[in-house]
Structure 1
Amino acid sequence: MRRSFHIIGLALTLLILSGAFPVNARAEKVSTRAEFAGDVICLPGVYLTEPDSCLPVGPSSVLTELAREGIVYPAPSLPVSKPPVSLNEIPYQYAKIISPSAPLYGSPAQGDARVPAFMLKGATRYISYSNISQTENGKYFESSSGLWVDGGDVARAAVQVFQGVVVHDTPKTQFGWILTNGHSRAEPDFNTPEGKHEVLPGEFYPILGTKQVGDTLWVMIDLNEWIEDRIIGRIIPVTVPPQGVNNGRWVDINLEEQSLAVYDNNKMVFATLVSTGTKPFYTKPGLFTIYQKKDKETMSGDFSGDKSGYYYLEDVPWTMYFDKLRALHGAYWHARFGYDASHGCVNLSIGDSRWLYDWAKVGDYVYVYDPSGQTPTDPSFYTDGGA
């Protein structure tokens, strides 16, 4: 929170003494019993039942009314910390193939002679290269497949850095990351003008409460600061394990929020944003177990029928298979975490996938669900899946 709690406490005390604390119309429901005349004003706090020893007016009336609406203020301190930056380190360098049809050669000499061993076509193609060779005719990149690509057919790819948070105890409130630029409003209403406070992608906020107004879910990130749910990816803590989880360890994947939380001993220990399957390549809801872990994997596939959608991805790091070809893994080719973007896998940032890979064991549960109910649940709808 941008305001510290001791400043809030001081401000509330001063407002009580001055009588200047703003009380809106909804707070007028506080008791006006004559017997309270001359009584002591309650300390600022939430009074869901009317106290006998003090008068809950001023700040208390506002805080109590917020609590009745499910809003926690001030927000409790979140028991989270940043993971080590070193988790982002990987022993691979990547390059994106930019030519519509790229020849792959058995050696730089074959490249100079323009004798390809293979033509790689498709929509999304990345190589992991370990060596660059310069000849009189050009530069060649050696991919992890052992084949060489002309330097004119590739562009080096920089891996985007995003990391979630290590959680030291299950938080009492929701929290999340801003997905796209926006401005907060003083009320959860489009008729309320946007305020001066701009929220920016990647910013991290505790969530004080939510409110459904028509078709829009509004999220409160500070007192009198509301934003639309669509611009924040939320972590919604759970206190009861999914049905079928009997050991207190599971990976919790919320398809509606595009978020992931890890629970150990029934307590949240990690949380982040992910990218799951986009329509019609949804990530299948259900309870699964991790059945294989691989520190790197080459993934390829095509769901278009005419190879126009073919993808080829070398050295995908920190891969954990849980539902046929659907896996949790690092994604270096995009950074759309918080939005659906895959062919069914659960994409994480490099650092987050490394954290999860180190924590997870074969046999750990993976629970995938969609609170919105928009993801198909009929098993016959799903293929084996892909990256």
Structure 2
Amino acid sequence: MRRTLIGIVLYVLLFALTPMAKAEDAPSPVSSLEDQSDLCVAGYQLAHMGQCPLEGPGGRAELRQRYELPAQLPALEVAFFEPAQPPITRAYARVTVADAPVFARPEDAAAGVVKRAIRKGFIYVSIGKTVEYNGEEFIRINSDEYMRRADLSLVSPSDYQGFLLAEQPQRPFAWVVRKFQPRLTPNGQKNPEAPVLNRYDLVQIYGKRRAGEYDWYLVGNDQWVEQRNLSVVEVIGPPEGVTGKWIAVNLFEQTMSVYEGEQMVYASLVSSGLGAWPTRPGLFQIYSKLESTKMSGAYAADKSDFYFLEDVPWTMYFDQSIALHGAYWHDGYGFRKSHGCVNLSPIDSFWLYNWAELGTSVFVYDPSGQTPTNLPAGGGP
């Protein structure tokens, strides 16, 4: 009995002398953020912003706190150019058959009399009236030349256009270049309440965050869009020594912004050089203006990349054979598509041609640094 009492007393003394762990010494409930993001509930995450991953349930609350947007987002005041005349007055067609025959008269087709053949390539021609002979349709391509209607594909030029700006934009804005459902958080789940963004929709940028390999842009409350789906425009200052009118071409974003001094007056999407034909960065000046011109060329040793484009509208050369011009043959603005030239929509090229002057500066730049700055001159449409 005595031994038992002594044992109990010693145990109590030992327990009393053992230091108790302090509350601050306890492990954090988010000691491993990568593995325990589910522990960062909204209340905790708002009290410890920056310590929890945005993918957790509190991420949306943190982002709302960081980028507090009004319920009614401010509008970007823009106006659309309304030309007094159509920007394109011709009709066009693509030659779809290699070595397509050209006839001096429709009746020569039945007789097998070929005036010339159009070689294989990326070929577009201006077209006139359609006539029928011996059960076949023929389209006039020049005053004394006809082609079979079956050898041609008629073209519908894009009606896309940029816009005029009466006031300096207060924040970056962007065009949607790919259809996209905004996410609740960067690289997160789709926002079922957000409207689907369609190609050529216009949005304003209220925030930017990196998630994964790409930047994500905030375009509305709980609406995040990954950078590859947008072409973004930001106001920049004029290059050193440039005053008056000047044009900025952003190769990374595939956009054009037009300035009078420091004031942006027009903005739109473009298509610059693709692949082996990048548009050369630098500061240039418009040295030639042509309302319409033919463009042709080939760069491959076997001439397999031959192209011929009739009546390219509203052309302004600024870097040897590189020009700003209208492109009636595609609707891919916001993506690289050319042999080095800067493609504009027909209505954008018409507006720019009438606004710009010989000597107007053209500043071509790539803010990402991905385009080499020591490229040789050359290229085409």
Deviations 1:177-198 (A, max 9, x none): 1111111111113xx2112232
Q: Aligned equivalents of 1:283 and 1:99: distance in 2? A: 30
Aligned to 2:33: none
Q: Aligned equivalents of 2:110 and 2:161: distance in 1? A: 42
Aligned to 2:173: 175
Identify which range, 306-315 or 320-329, moves more after superposition.
306-315
Deviations 1:87-117 (A, max 9, x none): 6542101111111221223333433433223
| Alignment: residue pair count | 327
Aligned residue among 309, 315, 321 for 1:313 = 309
Give the TM-score taking structure 2 as reference length.
0.79
Instruction: Find the structure with the greater CA-based Rg.
Output: 2
Q: Equivalent residue of 1:139, what SS? A: strand
TM-fit CA distance, 1:77: 3.1
Q: Do the aligned partners of residues 136 and 155 (structure 1) sit closer, same or farther apart at CA in structure 2, a change above 3 Å counting?
A: same
TM-fit CA distance, 1:73: 8.8
Q: Do the aligned partners of residues 64 and 280 (structure 1) sit closer, same or farther apart at CA in structure 2, a change above 3 Å counting?
A: same
Aligned to 1:37: none
Aligned residue among 233, 239, 244 for 2:241 = 244
Aligned residue among 155, 161, 182 for 1:157 = 155
Gaps of 5+ in 2: 1-41, 50-61
Aligned to 1:108: 106
TM-fit CA distance, 1:76: 4.1
Q: Aligned equivalents of 1:353 and 1:243: distance in 2? A: 26
Give the TM-score taking structure 1 as reference length.
0.78
Aligned pairs (5 A) from 1:221-232? 221-232=219-230
Identify which range, 144-153 or 193-202, moves more after superposition.
144-153
Contact 2:174 2:230 (C-alpha < 8 Å) held by counterparts:
yes
- RMSD over equivalenced CA pairs, Å: 2.5
Deviations 1:251-280 (A, max 9, x none): 100000000000013210000001000011
TM-fit CA distance, 1:141: 1.8
Aligned to 1:266: 262
Q: Aligned equivalents of 1:290 and 1:114: distance in 2? A: 47
Q: Aligned equivalents of 1:113 and 1:383: distance in 2? A: 47
Aligned pairs (5 A) from 1:188-267? 188-189=186-187, 192-196=188-192, 197=194, 198-238=196-236, 240-245=237-242, 247-267=243-263
- Identity, % of aligned positions: 34
Q: Aligned equivalents of 1:234 and 1:335: distance in 2? A: 18
Contact 1:144 1:315 (C-alpha < 8 Å) held by counterparts:
no
Aligned residue among 298, 317, 326 for 1:302 = 298
Contact 2:67 2:206 (C-alpha < 8 Å) held by counterparts:
no
Deviations 1:147-175 (A, max 9, x none): 32222211211112101111112201111
Q: Do the aligned partners of residues 301 and 315 (structure 1) sit closer, same or farther apart at CA in structure 2, a change above 3 Å counting?
A: same
Q: Do the aligned partners of residues 306 and 135 (structure 1) sit closer, same or farther apart at CA in structure 2, a change above 3 Å counting?
A: same
TM-fit CA distance, 1:311: 1.1
Aligned pairs (5 A) from 1:3-82? 27-28=46-47, 65-66=66-67, 76-82=74-80
TM-fit CA distance, 1:63: 8.0
Q: Aligned equivalents of 1:64 and 1:144: distance in 2? A: 65
Contact 1:220 1:227 (C-alpha < 8 Å) held by counterparts:
yes
Aligned to 2:18: none
Q: Aligned equivalents of 1:244 and 1:113: distance in 2? A: 65
Q: Aligned equivalents of 1:231 and 1:158: distance in 2? A: 25
TM-fit CA distance, 1:303: 1.8
Gaps of 5+ in 1: 1-22, 31-60
Q: Aligned equivalents of 2:85 and 2:256: distance in 1? A: 17
Contact 1:87 1:351 (C-alpha < 8 Å) held by counterparts:
no
Aligned pairs (5 A) from 1:363-374? 363-374=359-370
Aligned to 2:126: 128
